Chain A
Amino acid sequence: MTFIARRILGLVPILVLTWTAVFIVFELIPGDPVNLMLAGVPASEEVIANERARLGLDRPPLERYFTFLARAATGDLGESFRTRQPVTKMILDQLGPTLQLAAAGLVVGLTVGLFLGVLAGLRPGSWLDTTCTFTALAGSSLPSFWTGMLLIYVFGSMLGWVPIVGSGFDALILPAIVTGLFIAGDFARLVRTSIIDASRQDYIRTARAKGLSPVKIVGKHALRNALIPPVTMLGIQLSNLIGGAVVTENVFARPGLGTLLVDAVLNKDLPLVQALVVYTTAAYLVINLIIDILYGLIDPRIRHSRRVPT
C-alpha cells in the first residue's frame, strides 16, 4: 500500500508543475483575452472593464495563478468564448464519442497487429516475414486522413456499404479501421520481435524436442510469454490511439474531443483550449499512474525499487 500511496502523492507535484506551465504559456499569448472574446465586435470601455473584472483579469498575476490552480483542481475553468457554456461540460459531453472510437480502434489495431506480428515472427527471414513486416511498415506510413478518405470513397461512395456519417454502430466501422491502423503497424513490430525472442528460449527448445507441433508450440508456449512486452507497451499505444482518434474524427466529421480541440484552436477559444490542455494532461498522468501501479502489482521487483526502471 505504501507503494501506491507514494505514487499517488508523487503525482501532485507533477500536476502542479504542468498546470503552472500551462498558466505561464497562456499568460504569454499576445493579445487581451477580452479582445479575443469580442472578436472585433465594438464595445464600450465600460463593457470591457466589466468583462475584465468578471474574468478576474484585473487581479495581480500571482493571485490569478492561485485562482487558476484552485479552479483547475475543482474542475471549473470558466466558459467558452464562443458558446458561453462551461468548458468542463463541453469536454465531458465529447468524451464519450472519443472513448468509443478509441476502444473500437484498439480492438481493430490489436487484432491486425497480432495477426501480422505472429505470422512474421514464426519464420524470421522468410517471404512471409518480409511481406508482413512490409505491410506493417506500410500501415504505419499511411497518413490516416488519407486512408480515411480512400475508405470513404471506396466503401461509402462507390459501394455504398456503410454510412459515412451518423452515430450508429455501422458508422463506426470505417473510423475504427482508420484509428486501428494507426497503431497496428507498431504493435505488429513489437509482437514480431517478441515472438522471435521467445522462440529462442529454452522451454521452446524443450517443447520442440518433445515433438510438439509448431502450431501448438506457438499457441501454447511462445505466444503467451511473447505477449507480455507488447501488452506492457499498451500505455504508449494508448497515446497513439488518442492521437489517431483526433485525426480520424476530423476526417469523418465525428463529434469528439479531437474535433472540439481543433475547432477551439481555429476559433481562438482560449478557455476551451486551456481546459482541454489541463484535463488531457491530468487524464494522461492518471492513466500512467494506474499503469505504473499495475506493473508494480504484477512485478514485485518494480515495487521495491526506488526508481521506476525505464
Chain B
Amino acid sequence: MTGAVTISAPVAQGRRSARETFQLLLRKPIAAVAVAVLAILIAFALFAPWIAPFDPSRADVGPRLSPPGATHLLGTDLHGRDVFSRVVWGARYSLPVGVATLLLGLVAGGTLGVILGYIGGRLDAIGARVVDVLLGFPAIVMAIMVVSVTGVGLVNVVIAVAIADLPKFARVIRGATLVARENLYVESALAMGAHPVRVMALHVLPAIMPTVILLGTLNLGSAILSTATLSFLGLGTQPPAPEWGTMLNDGRDYIRYAPWMMIAPGLALFLAIISVNLIGDRLNEIMDPRTQGRA
C-alpha cells in the first residue's frame, strides 16, 4: 500500500437535507426515469388488489397458455392464471423480501462491523481476517448452503441471503467505524466515563450512518436479485405464490410455447434491480465528498 492514503469522512462539511438530496437525484435524467419506474413497481406492490384485473392465484380465469391480448394483457400461464395480475402481485413478494433481506444483513453485519472496529485489538484482527475470508466466497453458493440447513422457504431464504451478505456489510462498516472512532468527541465521551455501548450507539452510529445508508442503496438490487435467484432455483417462495423468481421457474418449461410466461416477470425483476442500482449509483455520486459540488 502506498503511504499517502487520505481517509476522508463519508460526508464532508454541511449535510444536505433529504429533500435537497432527492432534488439532486432527479437532476440526472436516467436517475429520474429510475425513480419513476421504481415508483410504478412500488405502486404495484401497494395497490395490487386494485391494479390487477384478476385474482393472481385463481386458475382458469382464461384459456391456458394463451398469448398476450386485450383481456389478458400479458397472456396466461399453464394453469390459465393471468400473467399480468401475477406480475403486479409479484411486486408484493419480491420487493419487500429484498428490503427485509437487506435490512437484516445490514443490522447483523453492521453490528459486527461496529463491534470489531470499535473494540479493535486482537479480536478485530481475527474478526477482520475471518470476514475477509468469507467475503470472497460466492454469496449465492453460501446462501444455498444455508438453505440446506434451515430448509426451503421464503423466511429461510431471507435469512440465508442476509447471512451470505453479512461479511460485505461488516467489512465496510468496520472501516467506517475505525474512522469514526478517531473523532475527538468519541474520545471526550469516553474520558467522561461513558459506557462503550452508549458511545457506540450515540456517537459512533450517527457518524457512520451516511455510509450505512449508501451501503444499503448500493446493495438493495443485489438483495432482490439473490432472493429471486433462490426462489428460481426452487429453494425460496414455493409455487402458487406469484413471486417473480418462482414465476420464472414456472416459465422455464414453456419457453418455446409460452415465452410470455418468463418474459414478463423477468422484465419486472430486471427493471426493479436496475432502477434500484441506478438510484444507488446516483446517491453514491451525490454523497461522495470527492464529487461534492460537481454532482
Contact = CB atoms under 8 A, between A and B. Distances in A.
Nearest to A250: B233
A134 interface: yes
A288 B136 contact: yes
B137 interface: yes
Given A261-B144, A265-B147, A265-B235, A143 B225 contact: yes
A232 interface: no
A239 B137 contact: yes
Interface stretch (B38-46, B104-112, B200-208, B256-264): B256-264
Contact of A281 (B137, B255, B278): B137
Interface stretch (A81-89, A172-180, A203-211, A241-249): A241-249
Contact of A149 (B221, B233, B245, B248): B248
B295 interface: no
Contacts of B259: 153, 157
Given A247-B233, A266-B235, A310-B128, A150 B141 contact: no
Contacts of A280: 137, 141
B12 interface: no
B269 interface: yes
Contacts of A243: 138-141
A233 to B, nearest CB: 11
B270 A142 contact: yes
Given A157-B256, A262-B144, A145 B274 contact: no
Given A149-B255, A262-B235, A247 B140 contact: yes
Contact of A157 (B132, B137, B233, B255): B255
Interface string B120-141: 0000010010001101111111
A150 B256 CA distance: 10
B266 A239 contact: no
Contact of A141 (B128, B138, B270): B270
A309 B3 CA distance: 12
Interface in B58-81: none
Contacts of B229: 143-145, 247
B262 A141 contact: no
B136 A236 contact: yes
Interface residues of A, number: 50
Contact of A246 (B144, B262, B270): B144
A238 B145 CA distance: 18
Contact of A284 (B136, B252, B270, B273): B136
A66 interface: no
Contact of A310 (B132, B147, B233): B132
B228 interface: yes
Interface in A116-154: 134, 137-138, 140-146, 149-150, 152-153
A152 B136 contact: no
A145 B136 contact: no
A243 B230 CA distance: 12
B292 interface: no
A5 interface: no
Contacts of B228: 143
Contacts of A171: none
B84 interface: no
Nearest to B249: A145
Interface of A: 14, 25-26, 28-29, 134, 137-138, 140-146, 149-150, 152-153, 157, 235-236, 238-240, 242-243, 246-247, 250-251, 261-262, 264-266, 268, 270, 273, 276-277, 280-281, 284-285, 288, 301, 307, 309-310
List the 6 closest pairs (A to B, CB-CB), nearest first. Answer: A146-B266, A243-B138, A141-B274, A265-B148, A243-B140, A141-B273
Interface of B: 1, 30, 125, 128, 132-133, 135-141, 144-145, 147-149, 152, 221, 225, 228-229, 232-235, 245, 248, 251-252, 255-256, 259, 262-263, 266, 269-270, 273-274, 277-278, 281
Given A240-B138, A273-B148, A280-B141, 19 more contacts: A26-B149, A29-B149, A138-B274, A141-B273, A143-B269, A144-B229, A146-B266, A149-B255, A150-B263, A239-B136, A246-B144, A247-B232, A247-B233, A250-B233, A261-B144, A262-B234, A265-B148, A281-B137, A310-B132
17 contacts: A140-B277, A141-B221, A141-B270, A141-B277, A144-B229, A149-B252, A149-B255, A153-B256, A153-B263, A157-B255, A235-B136, A246-B138, A246-B140, A251-B252, A262-B144, A280-B137, A281-B137
